Structure 1
Amino acid sequence: MKKLAVVLLNLGGPDSPEAVRPFLFNLFRDKSILRVPALIRWPLAAFIAKKRAPVAAKIYALIGGRSPLVPNTEIQARALEIALGDAQTQARCFIAMRYWHPFSIEAAQQVQEWGADEIVLLPLYPQWSTTTTSSSLRVWNEACATIGLKTPARIVCCYPTEAGFIQAEVAKIRTALNAARSYGPPRLLFSAHGLPERIVKSGDPYQWQCEQTAKAIVAALDMPGLDWVNCYQSRVGRMKWIGPSTDDELHRAGADKVPVVVAPIAFVSEHSETLVEIEIEYRHLAEEVGVPYFARVDTVGADAAFIGGLASLVRGARVASTQVTSERGGRICPPNFAGCCQR
């Protein structure tokens, strides 16, 4: 029986109050995030982490002092193992977080000790970005080189409109929209983590892929006249970020006096951006600006349709003729996106 290791890639999060500052340091020292020379990046990352740690610690204190991302991912991993089980393959999922434990080096060591015959790298970022999936893959490769793990790996690069993912999103969003209708025709905000505009202009396909996710959900919802918009959250610093911002859209909804449903389409597990930024901070902002009704849609988590979609992606990667596959096998990004991994 073949041993299949599926490595789930994600950002990670602090597992205690003491981990907040080193987590932030790891985040900001990533050359995919702070795109400056290493001699500047490391001290700058240390400065930013020290400055932001007290604020971030207060945020995590609101959800128990730690990120729920790893426990949620463990649940997804076990569900995916069950979905992948068959008579010919023993599937086991491993977790490789980018900025806090379990790191890629830890996951790679576990895969090596288990004796995997093949590996599929599966990002829990549905939309490809040079700041997320690309960064995680780079560190995975470095970890494998460090410990001498030579087992060949297939890569799922992205799945912004994968059927199971869309089905899971649609079911949750439809329920939220139906609840909002008693307050008037609702506005659906597809909120995703933002990026600096210069990164997108350099050829990163993330924003385009987020837009494809939203369009696929709207088509599947099949609600004629639905009021919806793509927007972006978590903006930091002084540089220009892609928009419109979720903050601005909430102000617009308040001025229009329409109920709002916020769907976090770039996150597949709950963490501080969903449980604090959306659920607490945006809910408070919505009340302040006069939004008559506010609802946050849960992330897809271990929804059966989503897990089934991930299993299909893994199976497709295993039989593909290329090392890197998308939800449709080949490249899905238009040719002008130089940041696409299938360039």
Structure 2
Amino acid sequence: MTVGPTGGSQPTRKGPCVVVAGGGTAGHIEPALALADAVRRLRPDARVVALGTERGLEKTIIPARGYPLEMIPPVPMPRKPNFDLLKLPLRVRSAVKTTRDVLDRVGADVVVGFGGYVALPAYLAARGRVPIIVHDSNAKVGLANKVGARFAERVAVAVEDSGLPDAEVIGIPLRESIINLDRAALRARAREFFGLDPHAPTLLVFGGSQGARTINNAVSGAARDLADAGIGVLHAHGPKHTLAVQSVPGRPPYVTVSYLERMDLAYAAADAVVCRAGAMTVAEVSAVGLPAVYVPLPIGNGEQAHNAKPVVRNGGALLVDDADFTPSKVAELVVPILTDHRRQVDMATAARGTGHREAADVLARMVLDAAFKHSGRSS
């Protein structure tokens, strides 16, 4: 099934066909879409088709961004030995067959995988038929990309020491709206949009699309300390959480929202950030040049802490364990940053210095080169 921005199939083009596989979470989807945009910037005649499943966020995000979406069966990898593990070979076989049919039908010239349960069947379906490019955003590589890298023509990663052989460090592809964000030019509009003090140093707080209880409790618990220091707050607590914080009369407001529809304006309004340390989050915050206090999600293989460490080593951010992040820790770390303009500037410069703003175009050129070698056409 193909889903376009209005539910229908997309018109056929004569240019190269790039198939992207990056479904499931925003951390896989957003780099894939940033690449898609870059491919179309470099080659307006290119076709970009995305693979996805009914269970992932891509079902709504990708068509809304104007790209056709082909649905394939998901292949989740069981974390523990159980009955699902016994069913895995049949699921893989079904997903690979469906994906091969898609690649044949759309005339794929290259497959680009970003990890997750959409990427694995894409790699297996493309193996020996269509060139494969692998990109991994995380400091610790997942199983799908470890498999895909064995068959790939080129492998691109966000950071050094990924563990993938012959990987090229290019950073994470980011949206143009983030790469080209002029925070200073948007600041007055952004502060007015959120109802923030136009002049006070301002802290942006968010914990991902669903929020983060530890961050919510710690920062809201430090509301009085922040207010007494003359600091305003924009706090996205997540749709599954509630947060009631009363602003202190005569002090900059503490503004709470469930979700940030306009991250560009949120970044423009802020002077520093408290947030989790997902790969995309770290890349975006660094690219826009915001000092950060990262509080990694304390699950999985510890990859969030690893994502933040290059920025921390460079002086652009601080790193705090989830268990240690308390109201007193917020006051201890955040207030000195937001009341010292020189330190803000130094941290912002250090954060930008760790980024790869050109990553989307670099990856797009890799992809188009592989596509043209496969098709025999001239670029």
Larger radius of gyration, structure 1 or 2? 2
TM-score under structure 2 length normalisation? 0.34
